[in-house]
Structure 1
Amino acid sequence: MLENIIESVNDVVWGVPMLILIMGTGIYLTFRLAFLQFRTLPYALKLAFSPRSQDKKSKGDITHFQALTTALAATIGTGNIAGVATAVVLGGPGAVFWMWISALFGMATKYAEAVLAVKYRVQNKNGEFSGGPMYYIEKGLKLKWLAVLFAIFGALAAFGIGNVVQSNSVSDALSASFNVPSWVTGLVLMVLAGLVILGGIKAIGRVTAYFVPVMALFYIIAGLVIIVTNWELVPAAVSLIFTDAFTGQAAAGGAIGAVIRWGVARGVFSNEAGLGSAPIAAAAAKTDYPGRQALVSMTQVFIDTIVVCSITGIAIVMGDLYTGGALRGADLTSSTFEFFLGGTGATIVAVGLTFFAFSTILGWSYYGEKCFGYLFKEEYVKYYRFLFVILIFAGAIGKIDVVWGFADIMNGLMAVPNLIGLLGLAGVVVSETHRFLKVAREEKLQKKDPHSENQ
């Protein structure tokens, strides 16, 4: 009965109104920012992957790149492997197209979240920075009660979507592929994650800066091998993705609404644009202007959905194993990779899922502790960290269907206060954007003519 109740609530929380609110916010911010995500993407990618002098002289705990990889650690996870497959099964190949659309508008949302996170961040007595929706809702909108609600939802969601469901996914994958006992997986994950998490954001940032690029490249290269070596299947697969996006004929029941719903829902689940999680990491970045870090944060959606999810989606459509619904989730992705690459393909997905889930645990541990730290005194955060680490083991050895549903609800409820904050503070985002872009133009001119400043 409890599972049925949670499933019913989940359907409401992640129903059409929520998806319209998330997409609508992204569209609104896109127009307010004059399609900034399209105009500045090359510059944003350059900022993200180039070391800058601001990292040394600006205030913050971690570099631009570490903030990006911490956010990517939390978002590149089961959604990229299992989420895309679920979208294709329930929505049809056209769902991949709507994942792209949600990401393109979601980039504006993610940008706005990071601007506000840096602008309204605070510094504690230890010199560490804290920020995110709870701070910009309280300080910008002056709605303390709404900020508290976000922090409660975030602290609880981290235990579920960012912890036990991830360790459980790793346990299942390693048990099925390599016959590793669940308790062994849980113990190893708990120890490895504990060594990083108990060190705080600086330790998390250092680990993810090395771990995330390797992890993502490992999976991306495997997917590209499938696409390149079976190039003759790509045109038909891409064509089907575009045509089905507007016809829905390959979806369950042939409904165009199902294509859009599952594409948008799984896109948001993967890149978390609008949920308010990633700006918590952005607030810790060393940066001189909110707009500079916001452009870096924006690239996270591009990398997560436009790059990683696309590779999964196109490969699944090429393999054509999604019809009939016998396979779904990670099993479908694993079977597709095995179809093209043999037994090696299934191993790649199992290892990829393990890395992705582990990185999600690291990223969400920071989100959860910052939400907890907002609600209680900073000295109590260490107890949250210890509990978080212990629950990694519990998730690996337990049955967590109810926890997954509850975590999904908390994850969705996080978005409501955050989206209210984004819409209410859109004017601040626009103002900060104009301020930074003026500085960026001056920096560009200075590079072209180093003497222009003195003329």
Structure 2
Amino acid sequence: MTALISELNSLVWGWPMLVMILGTGAYLMVGLRLLPLRHIPQAFGLLLRGRKGRAESGEISAFQALMTSLSATIGTGNIAGVATAIALGGPGALFWMWCTALVGMATKYAEAVCAVHYRERDEAGNFTGGPMYYIKNGLGPRWRWLAACFAFFGAFAGFGIGNTVQANSVADALNNTFDLPVWVTGVALALGVGLVVLGGVKRIGAVAGILVPVMAVSYMALGLVIIAMNAAEIPALFALVVDAAFNGAAAVGGFAGAGMVAAIRFGVARGIFSNEAGLGSAPIAHAAAQTNNPVRQGLIAMLGTFIDTILVCSITGFVILLSGVWQGGESGAALSALAFDSLIGGGDYIVSLGLAVFAFTTMLGWAYYGERCVVYFFGRLAVMPFRIAWVAAIPLGAMAQLDFVWLLADTLNALMALPNLIALILLSPVVFELSRARLASALAGDS
């Protein structure tokens, strides 16, 4: 079974998938006439104005919707994923992560536009949406099988990549750094997540609206302090990243795996893993936003990719490259810890605590994603059983050996992207038309 899933994983995360994700983002960016890039400042303005709920349809404020989305994306990919990309693809991988994020902003924009435009109300009158709904409502009855595929893959992927794998990573990190028993970490995480998740999306949004900005700003502030301490090296660092992106081994002394192809492959793959643009997870959160204008929510949603990769991942990458330890054979979280430790000390503590907070918020965001996928099949009666099962799985994940679960979840995560990308391409004319018709009112903050 492991060999079979490994083969499937190498196929679904191979070049065809990476090209499809990047190609979809590039197609949407061109079709939108670079709208996401042209309106980044205005989008931040809308985000700040959307901190409070408006007298519009939805369950949580536009700001909370973005924070819920970011709670799931700002995670292990920002610490371990960036380090893995640089270790296997060289400094040039960071450049390709930036490229992935820039086109991914168009993908995330289109996802949120479709999520709000095609969302529907559940039995309790609350809004619910995401790829399964914009496939069903946007593409018609003949495509319902595709919507069911997304919901199926999303429900099972969540228990792996958004739950047990996160708990296991935190338990392992805290055990190695603080000698904390893994079962203690598992129980503590289950209690913390349970207190939030059992309250539904409004409580998740409220907690994410506080915790995500605090953790993201704190991590970036620490990284910026390190970068400022080494400001004289930044121009050379940028030159190294750009040169290595196109020249590979020639830019970094010929160490193994640093070719241009490796830089592209690992930069793109880890960038997608980090910001989730194209996977279809984030629009589930944005569908619950308090807005009557899908374009406005699309502008806010695209900032998730910008914040996650252009800001947070870049800071991790700069710290690793400034430290000079990236050629030493380490990878993943261990490389990030070594980089921080070599520059300011306490790397193990910084990375372990960062992973703990990041993983905690990831479990919150993915709890809502998985819940909506299950509700798509079984209705609101499945909500409480799902939440209980979600919390119960956390301590089991913390104590188990999860190599196979990680492999399976990573594969299902990629399979989520296929129905979503097909839908985005087919619904792109709707996205383009809505953008032309409602951009002005969105920028003005009107409905």
Which TM-score bucket, shorter chain as reference? over 0.9
Matches within 5 A, 1:63-142: 63-142=61-140
Is the counterpart of residue 267 in structure 1 residue 271 in structure 2? yes
TM-fit CA distance, 1:254: 4.3
> Counterparts of 1:141 and 1:7 in 2: how far apart (Å)?
32
Please say which of residues 247-256 and 417-426 is displaced more in the overlay: 247-256
Q: Is the 8 A contact 2:93 2:245 kept in 1?
A: yes
Q: Is the 8 A contact 1:222 1:348 kept in 2?
A: no
> Counterparts of 1:329 and 1:100 in 2: how far apart (Å)?
19
Aligned to 1:279: 283
TM-fit CA distance, 1:52: 6.8
Aligned to 1:46: 45
TM-fit CA distance, 1:246: 0.3
Matches within 5 A, 1:240-259: 240-249=240-249, 250=252, 252-259=256-263
Please say which of residues 399-408 and 125-134 is displaced more in the overlay: 125-134
Aligned to 2:332: 329
**Structure 1 residue identity aligned to 2:72:** A
Aligned to 1:449: none
Aligned to 1:14: 13
Q: Is the 8 A contact 1:252 1:258 kept in 2?
A: no
Q: Is the 8 A contact 1:119 1:290 kept in 2?
A: yes
SS in structure 2 of the partner of residue 248 of structure 1: helix
TM-score when scaled to structure 1? 0.95
SS in structure 1 of the partner of residue 60 of structure 2: coil
Aligned to 1:144: 144
Residue by residue over 1:162-216, the C-alpha shift from the partner in whole angstroms, topping out at 9 and shown as x without a partner, is: 0001011110111111111000000000001001001100010000000101111
Aligned to 2:344: 341
SS in structure 1 of the partner of residue 188 of structure 2: helix
Aligned to 1:311: 315
TM-fit CA distance, 1:379: 0.7
TM-fit CA distance, 1:220: 0.8
Aligned to 1:411: 413
User: Structure 2 vs 1, CA of residues 323 and 287 (structure 1 numbering), >3 Å: closer, same or farther?
Assistant: same
Aligned to 1:452: none
The unaligned stretches of length 5 or more in structure 2 are none
Aligned to 1:450: none
User: Structure 2 vs 1, CA of residues 254 and 178 (structure 1 numbering), >3 Å: closer, same or farther?
Assistant: closer
TM-fit CA distance, 1:376: 1.2
**Structure 1 residue identity aligned to 2:365:** G
Aligned to 1:390: 392
Report how many aligned residue pairs link the two structures. 440
Q: Is the 8 A contact 1:238 1:314 kept in 2?
A: no
Aligned to 1:420: 422
**Large movers: runs of 4+ above 6 Å:** none
The unaligned stretches of length 5 or more in structure 1 are 447-455
Aligned to 1:190: 190
Q: Is the 8 A contact 1:48 1:65 kept in 2?
A: yes
> Counterparts of 1:161 and 1:154 in 2: how far apart (Å)?
10
> Counterparts of 1:45 and 1:25 in 2: how far apart (Å)?
24
**Structure 2 residue identity aligned to 1:153:** F
Q: Is the 8 A contact 2:90 2:257 kept in 1?
A: no
Is the counterpart of residue 431 in structure 1 residue 433 in structure 2? yes
**Structure 1 residue identity aligned to 2:155:** A
Is the counterpart of residue 298 in structure 1 residue 302 in structure 2? yes
> Counterparts of 1:294 and 1:381 in 2: how far apart (Å)?
27
SS in structure 1 of the partner of residue 123 of structure 2: coil
TM-fit CA distance, 1:366: 0.2
TM-fit CA distance, 1:50: 2.2
**Structure 1 residue identity aligned to 2:380:** E
TM-fit CA distance, 1:51: 3.6
> Counterparts of 2:173 and 2:383 in 1: how far apart (Å)?
31
TM-fit CA distance, 1:321: 1.0
> Counterparts of 1:279 and 1:201 in 2: how far apart (Å)?
14
Is the counterpart of residue 177 in structure 1 residue 177 in structure 2? yes
Residue by residue over 1:130-174, the C-alpha shift from the partner in whole angstroms, topping out at 9 and shown as x without a partner, is: 100000111111210000000000000100010001011110111
**Structure 1 residue identity aligned to 2:127:** F
**Structure 2 residue identity aligned to 1:119:** H
TM-fit CA distance, 1:239: 1.4
User: Structure 2 vs 1, CA of residues 15 and 9 (structure 1 numbering), >3 Å: closer, same or farther?
Assistant: same
TM-fit CA distance, 1:335: 0.6
> Counterparts of 2:258 and 2:68 in 1: how far apart (Å)?
39
> Counterparts of 1:7 and 1:86 in 2: how far apart (Å)?
19
Q: Is the 8 A contact 2:295 2:442 kept in 1?
A: no
**Structure 2 residue identity aligned to 1:175:** N
> Counterparts of 2:289 and 2:50 in 1: how far apart (Å)?
13
Residue by residue over 1:238-271, the C-alpha shift from the partner in whole angstroms, topping out at 9 and shown as x without a partner, is: 2111100001114634431111010000000000
**Structure 2 residue identity aligned to 1:338:** D
Residue by residue over 1:60-97, the C-alpha shift from the partner in whole angstroms, topping out at 9 and shown as x without a partner, is: 00001100000000000000000000000111100000
**Structure 2 residue identity aligned to 1:275:** L
Percent of residue pairs bearing the same amino acid type: 53
Q: Is the 8 A contact 1:218 1:352 kept in 2?
A: no
